A and B are shown apart, each in its own frame.
Chain A
Amino acid sequence: MSSDQSPKTDQKQRMLEALDNKVADPHPLEQYEVIGKRGVRRTDGYEKATGAARYTLDVQLPGLLYGRFLTSPYPHAKILSLDTSETQKLPGVRCVLRYDDPELPEGASLGGHELNNVAPLPAVAYFEGEECGAFVVADSEEIAEAALKTIKVEWEQRPFLLDVEKAIEPGAPLTNPEDYPGSNVHQVYLEGHGDVEQGFAEADKVVEFKWTFGLNTWIGPERPCGVWRWNGDFAAVWVKQQRPHIAKRAMSTWFGGIPMSHIDIHCLYQGASFGGWSQMAWNLGGHYCAAVASKRTGRPVKWVFSRREDFYGGNMDAGVFYVKVGFKLDGTIMAVAERGVTLNQMMPTFGIVAHLLENTKIPHVQGRTEAVWVNKGHNVPTRCEMNINCYTVNLVFNHVAAALGMDPVEVALLNDGAEGHDMEWLNARKAELGFEVRDSLRECVEKGKAAIGWDEKWHAPGAKKLPNGRMHGLGFCWTHEWDDSAGSSEIGIMFERNDGSVTILGCRADVGVNAETTYCQIAADELGVPVETVRFKHQDDAGFYTMTPDTSTNLSVNGWAVRSAARILKQKLLETAVAPRAKTQLTSFPPAFPDLRPEDLDVRNGVIFEKANPDNNMTIADFIGPSGAQGPLTSTVGEPLLVGKEGIGYPYRGTPPMFDHGWHIQRGCYLGVRLKFCRQAHFMEVEVDTETGEVDIRKVVTVNDVGKVINWDGCEGQAYGGAIMGIGRGLIEEVVYDPRTGVMLNGNLLNYKIPTMMDYGEIETIMVETGMGYGPYGTVGIGEDVATVLPALVGPAIHNALGVWVEGFPTTPDRVLQALGKA
């Protein structure tokens, strides 16, 4: 770091810099040691490989009790009466909470994005399997489960609907008359630019198509759960929660208010998350009931969901969609209009055509989302909210290419741009903001095409039958790379005494993307210390709250905060190294590096040294000195100090605590806030059996322009892992409800299939590094991208194989056969 890049210690300046995330990184490092290096050992590797890693579900405490919820057997029903007299008598039952318990409020803030107001134990169920009516706490999970069966409930069944299009028909019964008394449509969201009618008029050709998205879900291997223990007035809480800080904020509003300082959050390893459960509006309902039961019993209470109960929450992208596209004969797209009817979508504001607006030059775009409630579980962003948008981009581009007989890659390159502007305009913006001007999509497709053998293998739809009798297909899809959400991050960082190792503090959920190692790499290079000596203590409540693993936004927020903290701490270290360390009544202590300025020094591999004379050096450990104040200290630095009548020599430590902090704030980065420059492109080769409808994925090539790779294992893991999850979502995964009873039919892993090691063919992951991200060092997120973009790719790949479009996703064999007119 040169002197003109010195971090500002002025608070006002620091705050302004924390908000400035809309330009290229003005001060990247001149030299990288572990940033971008392959083979950096992951910090959680040994724990997770050996089974030592602890999850909330593993928490065992003396006297621990277990809580389970009563759930509704009907898709829409009200509790008229509840008899729990037998339940209380069952041996091992310690507490029964009922919906009419005077201590339970009608509403409390129980999770979701912001503070909300929902009932911990509602009396009405709006889907089969919804937690309502009672919470039973017992000595074991199985006793609690058995006790639930002794509850006698008188239900008033109500009419129910499962189909979104039936729910918007005139005269349809209301699916949730309490919250939505007027209509089953709870929100209509409009987005777009230009005038689509003008665009269709200017087009040479117009095509219309429908597509549907079957409900899928996240399947976190660790079931939703949590533990509450009252330590007197203090609450100790274990959360299986992607958003520990938001959870704590909600908890602080309970029971008339608990000071934040009285709540200790423990956020252990998370058995996967994918957004999902952590965003549900009721996800702290278990904690609320556990807190009440814990107070009553004087014992810690763990609440748990069954595996089936986890299945009721889903991906918020399910629905039915109608698209109209107008385009010129050369492939230039003039207008896109799409109407979507979505299923129990909590936040329709993410839209359905956002990616067409964000990264194409299409001048006329219009999207209309009709968000409808039916009697199924709630659906939330699940790796992630961009799923519909990705489907839209890829189906639009591939339909246009198919209608014109063009290569879809060419159609993509022709229409690349941003917010209705072409690449020339976009390139001018890149330059203005300080980025190197590169053509990210072209770089991605060139690498991807070579890897899959596109130019040799691509053919007209339905044109290639293989010797094994199957049809061969190639598919291509693309969109931008994102790190989209708003978020803030606070990070503490310190050199430990005695050995100068580095601790990063900030409570955050580890969902497995190897972010913790990544932050250690940033701190190591910024401070000049070996990465092995850096640890991110993320599981405990140290008062610093980081951005969650959310919308691929980890690094673009927390990365800046770690870097800022590390730069300030390094500056503090160097300023202290040249300053007199102490004056006592007897003597004063010279600086560790006398007659030098901070900028004359640097740190590398844990050693402070004079740049002009590297032999003049001292390890950070020696400089900072040991801990402890009783008895002789052993610092080798400084002259011995003679104190006391006995004249015992106490070598003097003389350095202040080496601690500082950093923070960063990212405003919402959705449409219009900042332009997207980095692209991703994916390719898929399939074989389709026209007799069985089976689709065999032979090869997938993922290409992601992540700006700059900091941690290779993290980036590649998200790419191939995302590809496998994406294949599952696009091809096989769907939560099925019985239309007659409204009961979920496949809420288990035997009947809801996710990909296994035999289901994905070959996967090749390619990273492109254009440096055009807004994150530190030019990075951009990758966590959600591939798993979200890739599912839509199975559609075009199957179309290329068969020459017909499969309307419904997932493209299960029955839907493929239907497209072929065989079912």
Chain B
Amino acid sequence: MATVQERGIVREQTVQLLVNGESHSVRVQPQWTLQYVLSDKLGLTGTKEFCGEGACGACTVIMDGRPVLSCMMLAIECGGKSIETVEGIARSNHPLIEAYIKYSCMQCGFCTPGFVVTAKALLDRNPDPTVEEIREAMVGNLCRCGTYPAHIKAIQEAAAVLRGGGGRE
């Protein structure tokens, strides 16, 4: 808050963030969330704020291999961390992207990037998830349009592609 800044409780700092393989040196105020820095300072607007308090998964990023809620993390604490956002996943041509389009996993699309990131983190640690495992992994991602059934199909297909089996037709 401005008051925090005024009173000089914690000062602005420069942090080094490794985002999608690229190094960024960012001057951050102590109260800035990682979500805010990614979207407003680095222009990575795919990391969305929906609930703003860790209840919806829209701001999910992968940090040092684990999915985390970037609205619940202060950027000032993320120095030296390696962060993967949806833009990085898309740039690596991850099969989730095509599978998501094929199964029409998006409606309004605002929450979709968060789902893609959580799903990618799931497939990183579990190459062949069951339907129940997918539901469990994705339960923290809220979609008001109710696209859930499509995600299960897309994640299974992307998993099959990653395993080298090709997609279902």
List chain A positions with a Cβ less than 8 A from chain B.
39, 41-42, 44-55, 57-58, 60, 90-92, 142-143, 145-147, 218-222, 269-274, 307, 510-514, 713, 717, 720-725, 748-750, 754-758, 760, 763, 787
Q: Could you name 27 residue pairs across A and B whose Cβ atoms are closer than 8 Å?
A: A41-B101, A42-B104, A42-B106, A48-B113, A49-B105, A51-B44, A51-B47, A52-B87, A221-B144, A270-B108, A271-B110, A272-B107, A272-B108, A272-B144, A511-B108, A512-B145, A514-B104, A717-B104, A717-B147, A717-B150, A720-B148, A721-B107, A722-B146, A749-B50, A757-B134, A757-B139, A758-B135
Do A756 and B139 touch across chains, with their CB atoms under 8 A apart?
yes
Say yes or no: A269 contacts B109, CB within 8 Å.
Answer: yes
Which residues of A are found within 8 Å of B47, using beta-carbon distances?
Answer: 51
| Given A52-B46, A219-B144, A307-B52: A757 touches B108 (CB 8 Å cut-off) | no
Residues from chain B with Cβ under 8 Å of A147 in the complex: 2
| Complex: chain A residue closest to B113, CB-CB | A51
Quick check: A51 and B31 within 8 Å, CB to CB? no
CB distance from B144 to the nearest CB of A (A): 5
Cβ contact within 8 Å between B107 and A53: no
Asked if B90 and A51 sit within 8 Å, CB to CB, the answer is yes
Q: Is A757 a contact partner of B40 (Cβ separation < 8 A)?
A: no
| Residue among A46, A92, A218, A763 making CB contact with B101, cutoff 8 Å | A46
In whole angstroms, what is the CA distance A513 to B145 when docked? 9
CB neighbours of A720 from chain B (8 A): 146, 148-150
Q: How many angstroms between the C-alpha atoms of A639 and B103 in the bound complex?
A: 49
Q: Which residue of A lies closest to B86 (CB)?
A: A51
Interface contact B142-A749, CB-CB below 8 Å: yes
Q: Are B107 and A513 in contact (CB under 8 A)?
A: yes
Residues of B within 8 A of A49 (CB): 90, 96-97, 100-101, 105-106, 112-113, 116
In the complex, the answer to whether B100 meets A757 with C-beta atoms within 8 Å is no
Cα separation A46 to B87 with both chains bound (whole Å): 11
Q: Is the CB of B110 within 8 A of A748?
A: no
Which residue of chain A lies nearest to B58 when distances are taken between CB atoms in the complex? A221
Ranked nearest first, the 10 interchain pairs of A and B with the lowest CB-CB distance are A51-B46, A724-B146, A48-B109, A512-B107, A721-B146, A45-B101, A512-B108, A271-B110, A50-B90, A713-B104
Interface residue SS majority, chain B: loop
Q: Which residues of B contact A (CB under 8 A)?
A: 1-3, 6, 31, 39-40, 43-53, 55-56, 58, 85-87, 89-90, 96-97, 100-102, 104-113, 116, 134-136, 138-142, 144-152
Residues of A within 8 A of B40 (CB): 60
Q: Taking CB as reference atom, which chain A residue is nearest B96?
A: A49
Q: B35: shortest Cβ distance to chain A, in Å?
A: 12
- Tell me, in angstroms, the Cα distance from A513 to B108 when the chains sit together: 7
Assess the B97–A721 pair: CB atoms within 8 A: no
Return chain B residues, CB-CB under 8 Å to A52: 46, 87, 90
A156–B149 Cα distance when bound, in Å, is 51
Contact A60 B1 (CB under 8 A): no
**Complex Cα gap A224–B141 (Å):** 21
Residues of B within 8 A of A218 (CB): 144
Contacts A513-B107, A749-B56; A50 near B87 (Cβ below 8 A): yes
Which residues of the other chain, A, contact B53 by a CB distance below 8 angstroms? 307, 748-750
Please, which residues of chain B bring their CB within 8 A of the CB of A273? 108
Q: Find chain B residues with CB under 8 A from A220 CB.
A: 108, 144
Starting from the known contacts A49-B105, A222-B110, A749-B53, 8 additional A-B residue pairs (CB-CB under 8 Å) come to: A44-B106, A50-B113, A145-B1, A220-B108, A221-B50, A272-B110, A514-B104, A717-B147
In the assembled complex, how far is the CB of residue A205 from the closest CB belonging to chain B, in whole angstroms? 39
What A residues does B113 contact at CB under 8 A?
48-51
Interface SS, A side: loop
**Which residue in A51, A54, A756, A763 is a CB contact (below 8 Å) of B87?**
A51
- B56 closest partner in A (C-beta): A749
Chain A neighbourhood of B136, CB < 8 A? 758
- B109 partner residues in chain A, CB cutoff 8 A: 44, 47-48, 53, 269, 271, 512
A510 to B140, CA, bound (A): 25
Contact B147 A221 (CB under 8 A): no
Q: Which residues of B contact A46 (CB under 8 A)?
A: 97, 101
With a CB–CB cut-off of 8 A, which chain B residues contact A42?
A: 101, 104, 106
- Cα separation A475 to B39 with both chains bound (whole Å): 46
Give complex CA distance A145, B4 in Å.
13
Q: Considering only CB atoms, which chain B residue lies closest to A47 in the complex?
A: B109
Separation of A577 and B116 alpha carbons in the complex (Å): 48
How far, in angstroms, from A51 to B55 measured CA to CA in the complex?
20
Complex-state Cα separation, A232 to B75, whole angstroms = 38
A91 touches B6 (CB 8 A): yes
A717: chain B residues within 8 A (beta carbon): 104, 107, 145, 147, 150
Please tell me if the beta carbons of A754 and B107 are within 8 angstroms of each other in the complex: no
Inter-subunit contact A45/B108 (CB<8 Å): no
A736 to B137, CA, bound (A): 30
Contacts of B58 in A (CB 8 A): 221
Q: Which residue of A lies closest to B103 (CB)?
A: A713
B142 partner residues in chain A, CB cutoff 8 A: 221, 749, 754, 756
- CB neighbours of B151 from chain A (8 A): 757
Q: How far is the CA of A146 from the CA of B4 in the complex (A)?
A: 10
Nearest chain B CB to A569 CB, angstrom units: 29
B2–A92 CB distance below 8 A: yes
Partner of A748, one of B51, B107, B145: B51
Residue of B nearest to A762 (CB): B149
Question: How far in angstroms is the closest Cβ of chain A from B112?
Answer: 5
Whole-angstrom distance between the Cβ of B67 and the nearest chain A Cβ: 15
Provide the residues of chain B in CB contact with A750, threshold 8 Å.
51, 53, 55
Whether B2 and A90, one on each chain, are in contact in the complex, defined by CB atoms closer than 8 angstroms, is yes
Q: Whole-angstrom distance from the CB of B84 to the nearest CB of chain A?
A: 12
Q: Which chain A positions have C-beta within 8 A of B52?
A: 307
Shortest beta-carbon distance from B135 to chain A in Å: 5
Identity of the chain B residue whose Cβ is nearest the Cβ of A41 in the assembled complex:
B101
A787 and B145 alpha carbons, distance in the complex (Å): 10
* Complex CA–CA separation, A758 to B50 (angstroms): 20
Inter-subunit contact B101/A51 (CB<8 Å): no
Determine the chain A residues whose CB is within 8 A of the CB of B90 once the complex forms.
49-52
A142 touches B31 (CB 8 A): yes
Q: B47, B105, B108, B112: which has the most chain A beta carbons within 10 Å?
A: B108
Residue in chain B with minimal CB distance to A716: B104
**B45 partner residues in chain A, CB cutoff 8 A:** 51, 54, 58
Are B1 and A48 within 8 A (Cβ)? no
B106→A512 contact, CB < 8 A: yes
Within 8 Å CB of A787, what residues of B? 146
A143 (CB) vs chain B CBs: closest residue = B2
Q: With A269-B108, A720-B146 as given contacts, are A757 and B135 in contact (CB-CB < 8 Å)?
A: yes
Given A50-B87, A142-B1, A307-B51, check contact A757 B138 (CB 8 Å): yes
Contact A50 B86 (CB under 8 A): yes
Residues of the B chain whose Cβ atoms lie less than 8 Å from the Cβ of A722: 146
The answer to whether A749 touches B108 (Cβ under 8 A) is: no
A139 vs chain B, min Cβ distance (A): 9
Set B106, B150, B152: member contacting A48, Cβ < 8 A: B106
Which residue of the partner chain B has the closest CB to A713?
A: B104
Q: Is A514 a contact of B97 with CB atoms below 8 Å?
A: no
Q: Taking each of B2, B51, B101, which has the highest tally of chain A beta carbons within 10 Å of its own beta carbon?
A: B2
